[in-house]
Amino acid sequence: MIRYGFRDTIRRPDGCRTATDRAVGGWVGMSDPVLQAAGGRIGFIGEYLADLGVPRSLASAAGSGVVFVVVSVLLYVAGARLAIPVLDDILRHRGVDDHARKPVRVLGYAAVIVVGVGLGFALAGYGNILIALSTVGAAATLAVGFALQDVIKNVVAGVFVYTDRPFRTGDWIEWSGNSGFVEDIGLRVTRVRTFDNEHLTVPNSQMTDDVIKNYDTNRTLRLKFTFRIGFGDDIDEAMRHVIDAAHAEDEILDEPEPSVILMEISESSFDLQSRIWIRDPGDSDVLGIRGRFVKDVTDRFEAAGISIPYPHRRVEGSIDTSAPGDAGVVSDD
C-alpha cells in the first residue's frame, strides 16, 4: 500500500484502480463521472455495483435508475418544503385570497415535479431519452392543444380572473342577464349560486369576455325608486315624506344622505326619484329594505292625502253597422 496524502490507492492485479480511488479521484480531479453519464462511462454508482460483482450493463442501468429516483425525490422534497412556502408567502403578502392561492400552489408543485424529473434525467445520463421525450411531448402538446382549445381558453381566462380580480368569493355579481353570489373560483370554471338557489357552473372565458357588474366591490350600493304624485299635490311635502321614510329605515345609510329629485313631468303625474344607500349589499336584504321603504312612503302619502295617480286613457269611436262588411274605425285621442 502506497500512501498519497489523504488518499489510499490500491492496485489490483490487473492494474486498475478500485472504486474508492476512482470516487475520490472523481471528486478531486473530476476525471471520472460522479453520478451517471451517457456513453461508455457508467458513473460512480455503476462502478461501485460493478466492483461488487454486478454485470456492468446491469450495474449501469441500476445506477442510472438510483440516481434518477434519488435526485427527483430530493428536488421534489426541497421544492415542496422551500419553494412552495415562499411562493405562498409572496401571494399572501400581495393580498391574494386563499381560494386563488390553491391553483397557484398546484402549478407550483407541477413545476417542481417537472424540474425534478428533468434534472433527474440529466444527472442519470438519460440525456438522449430526455431529448426524445421533449420531442414527443412537443408533438403531443400540439395535438392536445387543438383538441382542448376551449379548455385551455378557459384556463387562461382563469389566470386573468386571478390576476385582475374582478370579483372574489362571496361577491354579488351580475353578467349576461344572470346574477348571484360567487361560491368558488376555479382555474377553469367559476361557480355561482343564484337568488333562486340555483347552482351555475360558468366557464371562465365568459367571465373575461363579458361585462361583470360587482355590487360588493365598493361595499355600498345606491338604490333608486320613482314615486308618482298628482298634479294637484305639493311636491315639497311629498319629497319631505320620502326623506323621512328613508331616515326611518335602519338599514338605509345616513351618509351618503338620502335624496329625492323631480325627474319628469309625465302625462298624468310628477315623477319623483328617490336615491338611498345601503351598506354591504351582498350581506344585506336588498329587496326587503327596498320593499319596506316603498311601503313606508306609500303609507305616508296616503296619510297626508297625496295621491298616487295612474295613467288614464279614453277611447272614443263608433261602429257603423248599416253596411255589412264595413269595418268600424276606432280613434285614440
Cα–Cα distance, 84 to 224 (Å, whole number): 49
Question: Tell me, what CATH number does 253's domain have?
Answer: 3.30.70.100
pTM of the model: 0.56
Q: Where are the alpha helices (DSSP H) in 79-97?
A: 84-93
Cα–Cα distance, 282 to 195 (Å, whole number): 11
Domain total of the chain:
3
Q: Identify which of 5, 77, 63 has the alpha carbon closest to the alpha carbon of residue 32.
A: 63
Same domain? For 274 and 172 the reply is no
Same domain? For 8 and 106 the reply is yes
Same domain? For 197 and 105 the reply is no
DSSP notation for 242-295:
HHHHHHH-TTB-SSSPPEEEEEEE-SS-EEEEEEEEEE-GGGS-HHHHHHHHHH
3-class SS of residue 10: coil
Same domain? For 125 and 17 the reply is yes
3-class SS of residue 221: strand
Instruction: Give the per-residue pLDDT at 111.
Output: 83
* Single residue among 134, 152, 181 that ends a domain in this structure: 134
Same domain? For 32 and 67 the reply is yes
Question: Tell me, what CATH number does 202's domain have?
Answer: 2.30.30.60
9 domain-assigned? yes
3-class SS of residue 210: coil
Instruction: Give the per-residue pLDDT at 138.
Output: 73
Name the grid cell of 72. 427527483
Residue 38, judged by CB atoms within 10 A of its CB (0-12, 13-18, 19+), counts as middle
49 domain-assigned? yes
Name the grid cell of 116. 425534478
* Single residue among 214, 245, 280 that ends a domain in this structure: 214
333 domain-assigned? no
Name the grid cell of 131. 431529448
pLDDT in tens, the chain (333 residues): 333 333 344 444 444 444 444 443 443 333 344 454 444 455 666 666 667 776 766 666 676 777 778 888 888 888 888 888 888 888 778 776 666 677 777 778 888 888 887 777 777 666 666 665 666 667 667 766 666 778 888 888 888 888 788 998 889 999 988 999 999 888 889 999 998 999 999 999 999 888 999 999 888 999 999 999 999 999 999 999 999 999 999 999 999 999 999 999 988 899 999 999 999 988 888 989 999 999 999 999 999 999 988 766 677 777 766 655 555 554 554
Instruction: Give the per-residue pLDDT at 34.
Output: 43
Cα–Cα distance, 147 to 153 (Å, whole number): 12
Same domain? For 201 and 109 the reply is no
- Please answer whether residues 158 and 201 qualify as being in contact, where contact means their C-beta atoms are separated by less than 8 angstroms: no
Same domain? For 186 and 112 the reply is no
158 domain-assigned? no
Same domain? For 85 and 190 the reply is no
Same domain? For 107 and 74 the reply is yes
Domain that holds residue 87: 2-134
Same domain? For 27 and 128 the reply is yes
Q: Identify which of 209, 219, 225 has the alpha carbon closest to the alpha carbon of residue 276.
A: 225
Task: Give 227's strand partners.
Answer: 272
The pair phi, psi for residue 310, each rounded to 5°, is: -130, 155
**Which residues lie below 8 Å from residue 183, measured CB to CB, with a gap of 6+?**
169, 191, 192, 193, 199
241 domain-assigned? yes
Q: Which residue has the cell 372574489?
A: 168
* Single residue among 153, 186, 214 that ends a domain in this structure: 214
322 domain-assigned? no
Tell me the CA distances in angstroms from 260 to 237, 238, 246, one per residue in order: 12, 10, 10
Same domain? For 13 and 129 the reply is yes
- Please answer whether residues 191 and 202 qualify as being in contact, where contact means their C-beta atoms are separated by less than 8 angstroms: yes
Three-state SS annotation for 70-127: HHHHHHHHHHHHHHHHHHHHHHHHCCCCHHHHHHHHHHHHHHHHHHHHHHHHHHCCCH
Task: Give 192's strand partners.
Answer: 182, 200
288 domain-assigned? yes
Cα–Cα distance, 289 to 323 (Å, whole number): 61
**Which residues lie below 8 Å from residue 171, measured CB to CB, with a gap of 6+?**
181, 182, 214, 215, 216, 217, 282
Same domain? For 189 and 107 the reply is no
Cα–Cα distance, 29 to 232 (Å, whole number): 107
323 domain-assigned? no
Tell me the CA distances in angstroms from 213 to 159, 176, 209, 221, one per residue in order: 19, 10, 13, 12
- The single-letter code of the amino acid at 101 is R
